[in-house]
Structure 1
């Protein structure tokens, strides 16, 4: 299996998993909302902002965020629409990549202002694993809507294994 084929499958999985989680959250009875819903929405919004930030890095444009956990929290219906649209944008983005493009190193700045470097393929893997981690957190907070997922430590591992990525 090629990296391109794997990433295509992973991004389709991400859209499917996000869709199921969002549908379940939207179906919650507004009269009986779980106390942890606010925290779950913050996690969902954070994961979505990180998706936006990394898409901007992949496209070589500014993302406009100086924080990946802003105070403003969109309403769940709007956040759901935005997540689904960005998931489709990632599927479309991956579809147009060549093996050479996947291996391309991209220089960027993290929201803390420090520069970084990752290949396009590593960035795409981070977005997948980061989202899975937060879906798992949401599942632990809201067992009514999801099961827990595994932890995401991919970018932390990359920076520990190759400290020059955070110069």
Structure 2
């Protein structure tokens, strides 16, 4: 599998898994009433901020984040819409990149001010893995409260995609 195909697959998987989680949270009243609901929202806002920050790094735009943990977190409905929009952006962006653009190294600074350098491919892989990690955090919290989390398994995504293709 080429790097560009892998990145396209991973961004589509990430969007699918995020959509499943947001749909669950939006449609399960119990999830919004658990004691850890503010923590879930903080985790989601953090993951979303990281997506925004790395999009800015890849496009050369400025971002206004001074931390990956926003001081003013978005409420679930706004966050859901914004997360779905940035997931769509990542999918479109992944499809627009050539192999050469994927391996282009970009210098940037983390929100801490520390200098860094990564390729676009590495940044996208970071965003996808970061999202998977935090969906796992949320899944544990949901299970602890008797709520079955949405399936977040790439094999399910690939199987579902193969059936609809």
TM-score tier, shorter chain, comes to 0.7 to 0.9
Q: If the length of structure 1 is used for normalisation, what is the TM-score?
A: 0.85
Aligned residue number for residue 69 of structure 2: 69
Instruction: Tell me the distance in 1 between the aligned counterparts of 2:75 and 2:24.
Output: 15
CA-atom RMSD in angstroms? 1.9
Quote the residue 1:52 is aligned against. 52
Q: Which runs of 5+ in 1 are unaligned?
A: 151-167
1:3 is aligned to 3
Number of equivalenced pairs: 150
- Matched with 1:121 is 121
Q: Any stretches of 5+ residues in structure 2 without a counterpart?
A: 154-165
Q: 2:28 aligns to what SS in structure 1?
A: coil
Residues 7-156 of structure 1: pairs in structure 2 closer than 5 A: 7-29=7-29, 33-143=33-143, 144-146=147-149
Q: Which moved more, 1:99-108 or 1:63-72?
A: 63-72
Residues 66, 111 of structure 1: 8 Å contact kept: yes
Instruction: Return structure 1 stretches of 4+ with deviation > 6 angstroms.
Output: 147-150
CA contact (8 A) 1:105 1:119 kept: yes
Distance in 2 between residues matched to 1:147 and 1:95, nearest whole Å: 26
Indicate the structure whose relative CO is greater, using CA pairs within 8 Å and at least 6 residues apart.
2
